[in-house]
Structure formats: C-alpha cells, structure tokens
Amino acid sequence: RRPKPSPRWHLDEMVSAIGGRRMYVWRAVDDEGEVLGSAVERRRDAATAESFLRKLLRDQPVVPEAIVTDGLGSYKTALDRLGLSNRHR
C-alpha cells in the first residue's frame, strides 16, 4: 500500500559493468525520491527509452505532469513517439 507517486518524474541512466560487459541502468524517480522503476539494458537508444517509458506509464497509477531528463536525445525521441513531448523538461 504505497502512496501514489507525485506527477513530476525524473529519468536518468548510468553506465555500469556487469559481468564484464557494459550495461546501462535506466531509472525513474518522482520528485519526492520514490523509485518508480528501473531496468538494465545493453543499449542506450530511442527504442530502449520508449520501451522503458511504456512500462512506466503502464505500471504507475498517475500520468506524469512533467518529465525531467538529463538531456539524452533518446528520451526526446521516445517522448515524441508517445505523444508526451509537451511534458518534457
């Protein structure tokens, strides 16, 4: 029984070596610091970003009012494809 997350989401990714391979850890948190979701992927492209965002939107009870990213172009492309580009900051 977790409370609903806030509608302001922050997305980022980081590089990590897992099993000697370069992997990307994708993570989403709300503005209160509650982790909304995470994923470990081999790629850092628009298709992966779109898949991660689709999963977040499906699993969360609120639609985001604002999505803050670190400026990665893959996020912009994915948000355009999902029709959420007006919420991107």
pLDDT reading at 56 higher than 80: yes
Give φ, ψ of 60 to 5 degrees.
Answer: -100, 145
pLDDT digits (tens, 9 = 90+) for 17-51: 999 999 999 999 998 888 999 999 999 999 999 99
Q: Give the angle 41-30-60 at the CA atoms, nearest 5°.
A: 70
pLDDT reading at 3 higher than 80: no
Residue with tokens 């470990």: 40
- Mean pLDDT for the chain? 89
Radius of gyration of the chain measured on its C-alpha atoms: 13
pLDDT reading at 13 higher than 80: yes
Cβ(22)–Cβ(13) below 8 Å: no
Question: Does residue 69 sit in helix, strand or coil?
Answer: coil
Tell which wins on pLDDT, 40 or 88.
Answer: 40
Band of the pLDDT at 85, cuts 50, 70, 90? confident
- The enclosing H or E element of 47 equals helix 46-59
Spatial CA neighbour of 70 closest among 10, 30, 1: 10
Band of the pLDDT at 71, cuts 50, 70, 90? confident
